Amino acid sequence: MIFSTLSGKDINDEGPHQNFVDVRDVARAHIKALQNEAAGGHRHITSAGSFGQGQIAGILKKNFPDAKVKTPKTEEVPDFGLSVKSITANELGIDYIGLEKCVVDTARDLQKFL
């Protein structure tokens, strides 16, 4: 989704909204779960929040002004009230990476393929 949006493909910013988590946070969650005896036998859902493709486009347009990003119609994302975010963050001590940093870091790495 980030590569398609960064390379100027049409976006469907009214498409389904999804949850995201940075892969670095998933790795941290695995390590912390192994180090925390109380986490044993539990499933931890890692989710830093909700997003939509229009929001991704807005972040890319702001941070990569020379990219061919199409202008999104909306950047609004419904709040699904994900209590799992705080449960996992509290139990494992994770401070999630935000959507903008996740998208910008990913896009910087993907630019070599444009």
pLDDT at position 73 is 64
Query: Digits of tens for pLDDT over the chain (114 positions)?
Result: 899 888 888 776 555 678 899 999 999 999 999 998 888 888 888 888 888 888 888 899 999 999 988 876 665 555 555 555 677 888 888 899 999 999 999 999 999 998
pTM of the predicted structure, to 2 decimals: 0.83
53 vs 111: CA distance, rounded Å: 18
Q: Answer whether 25's CB lies under 8 Å from 94's CB.
A: yes
pLDDT at position 19 is 84
Q: Answer whether 45's CB lies under 8 Å from 26's CB.
A: no
pLDDT at position 74 is 60
Which whole-number Å values give the CA distances from 20 to 4, 36, 52, in the listed order? Answer: 17, 24, 10
